[in-house]
């Protein structure tokens, strides 16, 4: 199999911390260039924009878009029009409807569009899905709280319209939820706390359910200090299952049954390489729909201004 030559577009923290290392170890993938206005990687061709990359850069087969979501739709359309496969960091866009034209473009061009949900590739997700498939679920609770100053320092885009605020990490939990539960869920109520100087929420509480009435609650907060919380608890007729540390660890009634090293981004690129070999796409919008519905249904309150 020939190497998939990939260019990273947008070279911020997540690209440096996760994407570069993952591409380096995944068989069939190679990093060929970087496009970013503000950063570069020694030894690689560098361009300021995706347009410069496509016009002046080395031969590439695919782009991995790690830019803020507000600009990804236009960049993805540019790349698809140029005949490139496209990987979208999460969230795949700032709205649900804007993905439909990209899906159609990819299909017409026989190119891959991959809307990634890296948390679904955490090591305990599939064991949890399989375990829950044979139990009767009683309730679900998500506790997803982290310090925005640690994980998103100076990233002002996250507070702008389309930046999602606390739903940027919260959508990771929802991507796990929509993978492990046997039935689709939907939002019935939401409370959103907006800093007085921001256009996106800093905290949110959601109430969800499925067609059978399963009670599901979620607490998201960007103001957590000290230990960080990335937990999902599911009460069942076979005991309580807990996913912790972002679904790296699975325990049942306190006994660890799954614990493995984190290879989320390596698995993303393995999946991307496999998809591009066939030209198939993978665009699951269920987590984004839940966030959109939370904004539609959310009762909004103002809280103190956010200062980074």
CA distance 37 to 45: 13
Interior CA angle at 178 toward 136 and 221, to 5°? Answer: 105
> Residue 146's pLDDT is what?
97
- Residue 84 known to be catalytic: no
CA distance 236 to 220: 23
CB 207 within 8 A of CB 187: yes
Instruction: Say yes or no to pLDDT of 1 above 80.
Output: no
Rounded to two decimals, what is the model's pTM? Answer: 0.95
> Residue 135's pLDDT is what?
96
CATH 3.30.360.10-classified regions of the chain: 119-261+292-303
Residue 171's Cβ-count burial label (10 Å; 0-12, 13-18, 19+) is buried
Catalytic residue among 90, 145, 242, 299: 90
> Residue 223's pLDDT is what?
97
Q: Taking residues 59-88, what's their average pLDDT?
A: 97
Confidence band, pLDDT 50/70/90 cuts, at residue 262: confident
Confidence band, pLDDT 50/70/90 cuts, at residue 38: confident
* pLDDT, tens only, 176-212: 999 999 999 999 999 999 999 999 999 999 999 999 9
> Residue 57's pLDDT is what?
94
Q: Taking residues 130-154, what's their average pLDDT?
A: 96
Residue 27, SS3 per DSSP: coil
> Residue 39's pLDDT is what?
86
CA distance 260 to 1: 29
- Other CB atoms within 10 Å distance of the CB of residue 10: 24
Instruction: Say yes or no to pLDDT of 105 above 70.
Output: yes
Q: What percent of the chain shows pLDDT beyond 70?
A: 100
Strand (E) or helix (H) holding 242:
strand 239-244
CATH 3.40.50.720-classified regions of the chain: 4-115
Which residue in the block uniquely carries the two structure tokens 């929420």?
201
> Residue 199's pLDDT is what?
97
> What CATH fold (topology level) applies to the domain 119-261+292-303?
Dihydrodipicolinate Reductase; domain 2 (3.30.360)
CA distance 172 to 90: 8
| φ, ψ dihedrals at 8, nearest 5° | -90, 130
Q: Which CATH number fits domain 4-115: 3.90.550.10, 3.40.50.720, 3.90.226.10, 3.40.50.2300?
A: 3.40.50.720
Which residue in the block uniquely carries the two structure tokens 């998809």?
275
- Other CB atoms within 10 Å distance of the CB of residue 205: 17
CA distances from 96 to 79, 81, 181, 222, 285 (A): 20, 21, 22, 24, 7
* Alpha helices (H) in 153-263, listed in sequence order: 167-180
């Amino acid at each position: 199999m020939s190497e998939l030559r990939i260019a990273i577009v947008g070279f911020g923290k997540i690209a440096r911390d996760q994407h570069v290392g993952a591409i380096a170890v995944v068989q069939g993938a190679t990093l060929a260039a970087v496009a970013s206005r503000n950063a570069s990687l020694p030894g690689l061709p560098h361009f300021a924009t995706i347009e410069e990359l496509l016009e002046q850069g080395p031969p590439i087969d695919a782009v991995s878009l790690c830019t803020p979501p507000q600009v990804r739709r236009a960049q993805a359309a540019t790349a698809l029009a140029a005949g490139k496969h496209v990987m979208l960091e999460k969230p795949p866009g700032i709205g649900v409807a804007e993905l439909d034209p990209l899906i159609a473009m990819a299909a017409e061009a026989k190119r891959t569009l991959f809307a990634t949900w890296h948390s679904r590739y955490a090591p305990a997700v599939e064991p949890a899905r399989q375990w829950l498939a044979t139990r009767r679920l009683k309730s679900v609770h998500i506790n997803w709280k982290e310090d925005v100053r640690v994980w998103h320092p100076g990233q002002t885009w996250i507070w702008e319209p389309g930046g999602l605020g606390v739903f940027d990490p919260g959508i990771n939990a929802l991507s796990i939820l929509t993978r492990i539960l046997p039935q689709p869920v939907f939002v019935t109520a939401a409370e959103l706390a907006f800093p007085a100087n921001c256009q996106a929420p800093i905290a949110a509480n959601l109430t969800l359910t499925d067609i059978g009435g399963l009670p599901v609650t979620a607490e998201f907060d960007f103001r957590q200090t000290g230990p960080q919380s990335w937990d999902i608890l599911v009460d069942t007729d076979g005991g309580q299952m807990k996913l912790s540390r972002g679904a790296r660890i699975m325990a049942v009634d306190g006994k660890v049954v799954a614990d493995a090293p984190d290879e989320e981004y390596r698995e993303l690129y393995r999946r991307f390489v496999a998809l591009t070999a066939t030209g198939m796409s993978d665009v699951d919008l269920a987590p984004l729909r839940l966030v959109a519905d939370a904004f539609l249904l959310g009762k909004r309150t103002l809280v103190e201004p956010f200062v980074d």
